[in-house]
Amino acid sequence: MKTNIIITTGFLAVIGWHCTKDDQSNLTLKESLELNSAKINTAFGNIAESRGYQLLSVNEDGTKSDFGDGFRDSIDLELIAGIYNFKPGTEMHHNFYFPFRLFMKTGNSEKLIINMPEKLAFHPKYLHFCDRADSVLKNNFSITANNYHFFYNQWNNSDYKLIADFKLNNTDLGHINMFSSWKSGTAGKYSREFTFPEGYTIIRSGETGDTTRIVFALAEDKDTLLKETLLFIGDGFKRKERQYILSIGNVDIKRSTSIDSIQVYLDGVLQKEAGIKIMDDGDYNSSVCYKRDIMLTFDDGTTAKLSELISPALETLKSVTKAMEEMYFSKHIIDYIALSIYYDNH
């Protein structure tokens, strides 16, 4: 699964989610946009302070980045299920990536339960280049996977599934639910969700082929605070944006090749007097997370720039988006551990 491909493609159906209203029916477009932007700032402020965000944002040089690229097989949960504690072995293996056993099985379970020191979770280089002295550290970080499937073959066909919970000192850090399916290196679909104990869910999803769809969303419980959808036709540098939809609570901004102007809706009602300008450099990867900004002109003649309204959240928004694109910790922590256990048992 190639990261650069996953970053530029996406698809998501957020069925059942609805935009936050909270009795906003009497608010103007300007008031609604300001209120919804404040909720986005609050959400990302709370996320930035959470340990779940620290886990999601793990990214270190020095890990064995290509350890799974040579894997051509299928691992299902039942092949690695059990309770495992971090306890490095002493017998050397001939496998370069796993020179000795990292985890000892201590019990049976239908799930994959991993107990390890937090140092190895938040700094995976210590997991990949293990120091046996770390075995004296307390196994206070746990991963509980209810579903796991890893399949890859020489034709770049792959399927992946992971559903897992994370705890530190028995305190919930978050829940992940992700899948991907690729028919080749460039055609496939994926969905990634990370839910924080604070009630926020980040989603990054996509589908690519003749038509490419990318979606990024932030929700609080069942309310969508922010959702951006980009639809492209064509591929590579010939790809062109066909539709763009940005939802900020109950405010929707839409641009389409079939419509001459950019439209803005409040609670589903077209705001005919509002002016919208989308500013970007023409890059087909532009989004409010990266190189795109939006200027709105309201009925009273005043203006507001989206980047200024959500400026407190922008850095965290960009960081979370990148983390959801790369899913570094799922590959370099969970997959690495799963493969090490698989090689030990087989």
Domain boundaries, the chain: 3-345
pLDDT at 198: 93
- The mean pLDDT of 311-334, rounded to a whole number, is 93
Q: How many CB atoms are closer than 10 A to CB 33? A: 24
* pLDDT surpassing 90 at residue 114: yes
Confidence bin at 211 (pLDDT 50/70/90): confident
* pLDDT tens digits, one per residue of 145-176: 999 998 876 556 778 999 999 999 999 999 99
Residue 3 confidence (pLDDT): 36
Answer yes or no: is pLDDT of 128 > 90: no
pLDDT at 199 over 80: yes
Confidence of residue 244 (pLDDT cuts 50, 70, 90): very high
Per-residue pLDDT at 74 exceeds 60 = yes
Q: What is the mean pLDDT of residues 169-193?
A: 90
Residues in the chain: 346
The per-residue pLDDT for 319 is 94
What is the rounded end-to-end Cα distance, in angstroms, of the chain?
23
Per-residue pLDDT tens for 29-57? 999 999 999 999 999 999 999 999 999 99
Q: Which of 92-101, 211-220, 271-280 has the lowest mean pLDDT?
A: 92-101
> Phi and psi for 9 in degrees, rounded to 5?
-135, 150
Q: What is the pLDDT of residue 99?
A: 58
Positive/negative CA dihedral, 285, 287, 289, 295? positive
Locate 83 and state its tokens: 């309770």
Q: What is the mean predicted confidence (pLDDT) over 320-329?
A: 92
CA distance linking residue 59 with residue 136, whole number of Å: 25
Token representation of residue 182: 């690729």
